[in-house]
Amino acid sequence: MTREAIYDGKVIRVAKLEGRWEVVEHAPAVAVLVLRQVAGGAEVLLVSQRRPAVGRATWELPAGLIDAGETPEGAARRELAEEVGLGGTFVKIAEMFSSPGFTDEKIYLFEATDLFESVLPGDEDDLEFAWKPLLDSYWKIARGDVASSSPTLLGLTYALGRRGELP
């Protein structure tokens, strides 16, 4: 398959395949589902940050790119420690392509349990994180009331399905 580079940037590369398909080549990424049970029900740990590509802040699962030479689980561990200061036991839930019609970006979704403090210095100064009600978060994101990501919605759907609470 012929591959012609059209643009080579810091995060993405745009290529033309076979002289006709323009594709965005992107490093793989991870997202981490973290839940806790409280008196009012289940809560999910979400991170808010400004996302210039969509012109607003989003609430998402802790997430980030897999660095060169890093395993998906290693990246999930690093991202959770950098973004929210937690470590734990990690289990892969799913892997998916974010939008295979135009990009090769692959996302690995993990769940972290048996949590403990594990702080790493982060690279984002504008992150905010909070525990949010699981079902309420699902509905706000699914309706589009809160901007988020597809791995986040998948993680929330997975959690609700496992708990027998799928709407």
Which tens digit of pLDDT belongs to each residue from 55-102? 999 999 999 999 999 999 999 999 999 999 999 999 999 999 999 999
Domain that holds residue 97: 27-162
Whether residue 17 is contained in a domain is answered as no
46 contact partners, CB below 8 Å, separation of at least 6: 59, 60, 61, 129, 130, 131, 132, 137, 152
Can you point out the beta strands (E) in the chain? 3-8, 12-17, 21-26, 29-38, 41-51, 56-60, 63-65, 86-97, 106-117, 128-133
pLDDT for res 120: 84
Whether residue 22 is contained in a domain is answered as no
- pLDDT for 167 beyond 80: no
pLDDT for res 124: 63
pLDDT band at residue 114 under the 50/70/90 scheme? very high
* CATH code of 119's domain: 3.90.79.10
Residues 103-126: what's their mean pLDDT?
Answer: 89
Whether residue 16 is contained in a domain is answered as no
pLDDT for res 119: 85
Whether residue 15 is contained in a domain is answered as no
pTM of the shown model: 0.94
Whether residue 144 is contained in a domain is answered as yes
For the segment 128-161, what is each residue's pLDDT rounded down to a tens digit?
999 999 999 999 999 999 999 999 999 999 999 9
Output phi, psi for 80, to 5 deg: -65, -40
Whether residue 138 is contained in a domain is answered as yes
Number of domains in the chain: 1
Whether residue 31 is contained in a domain is answered as yes
Whether residue 147 is contained in a domain is answered as yes
CB 87 within 8 A of CB 116: yes
